[in-house]
Amino acid sequence: MVEITAALVKELRERTGAGISDCKKALVEADGDAEKAIDWLRKKGLAAAAKKSGRVAAEGLIGVATAPGAAAMVEVNAETDFVSRNEKFQAFVAQVAQVALSAGEDLDAIRAATYPGTSHSVGEELTNLVATIGENLTLRRARVLKVASGVVATYVHSAVKPGLGKIGVLAAIAGESELAALEKLGRQVGMHVAAARPDALDITDVAPEALEREKTVLAEQARASGKPEAIIAKMVEGRIRKYYEEVVLLEQVWVHDGESRVRAVLQKAGGTLLGFARFQLGEGVAKRNDDFAAEVAAASGVAAR
């Protein structure tokens, strides 16, 4: 009998989208023959995700879940916005966010965790959901923030249900204020982050490569205007301060009043922002922009107008 190695199981899983246990069982039934194992999975209806795994999935939902001193946020993608209104999909995203609270941010750990109320894994539940809904679905990313003393507030924009929407924000805030006050402050920070889209918490958190790239662009712009090098250095220094005001959360203007700096607002409220995370559905995913009329015309052999 052929040894069923982890590598064989992994390869079959990647080719079919079926769960780990199903892939292992299929390989055992097929005596290690991958092609026969695929046929076995297809016959059982467990390889339904295979044909869909290559499709672009940039829709779906952001889900958040909270616990005392912690919060988790996940993004689960689908191919069409229609799926975000599917109750089974909504329930899955909400449950995965809950799982992330204990499993952490690692996607493999989340997929391997037991899906609540079942004896199978999150990954297997996702595969079953693909077969049920008929679209490629992917668990794209997760983030978990925790505080020893304080709150991790959440904010969801364009919510379809509590904790489910198109943009999600986590804000970890420590302070001596009452938890309710910190929660309110954290929600306001979340709304600000959703609107202002900062890249970093503080100036020291700005990625060095991003800063150097900005300095290079600003310097070239100044040279193009014919300024001498001594003046260029000062111009770049001044413009970098403006750059920080655009991308650094604590340096941004508070969207709620249009004049205060976020740093000053937090200091006045007695809160310390320890970290934040912002997920926008589908950001960074290359979306298809098909012309549906042209697609139908091509299929029917008629030129689109």
Q: Where are the domains of the chain?
A: 6-47, 59-203+248-280, 207-247
Per-position DSSP letters for 107-118, written without gaps between them: HHHHHHSBPTTS
Residue 241 CA to its chain's centroid (Å): 29
Please tell me the CATH superfamily of domain 59-203+248-280, with its number: Elongation factor Ts, dimerisation domain (3.30.479.20)
Cα 82 from Cα 61, distance rounded (Å): 11
Q: List pLDDT tens digits, range 239-279.
A: 899 999 999 999 999 999 999 999 999 999 999 999 999 99
User: Which class for 31: exposed (0-12), middle (13-18), buried (19 or more C-beta within 10 A)?
Assistant: exposed
> Kind and range of the H or E element at 236?
helix 229-247
Does the pLDDT value for residue 85 go beyond 80? yes
What's the mean pLDDT in 76-87?
92
Does the pLDDT value for residue 293 go beyond 60? no
What is the SS3 assignment for 224? helix
Please tell me the CATH superfamily of domain 6-47, with its number: Ubiquitin-associated (UBA) domain (1.10.8.10)
Does the pLDDT value for residue 152 go beyond 80? yes
What's the mean pLDDT in 21-36?
88
In this chain, the answer to whether the domains covering 6-47 and 59-203+248-280 adopt an identical fold is no
Please provide the CATH number assigned to the domain covering 207-247. Answer: 1.10.286
Does the pLDDT value for residue 296 go beyond 80? no
- Residue 161 is given by DSSP the state B
pTM check: above 0.75: no
Does the pLDDT value for residue 298 go beyond 70? no
What pLDDT band is residue 124 in, cutting at 50, 70 and 90?
very high
Q: Among 57-61, 139-143, 144-148, 149-153, which is the least confidently predicted range?
A: 57-61
What's the mean pLDDT in 65-91?
95
* Average model confidence (pLDDT) across the chain: 86
Please tell me the predicted confidence (pLDDT) of residue 95: 98
What pLDDT band is residue 72 in, cutting at 50, 70 and 90?
very high
Cα 32 from Cα 39, distance rounded (Å): 12
Cα 211 from Cα 207, distance rounded (Å): 6
What pLDDT band is residue 297 in, cutting at 50, 70 and 90?
very low
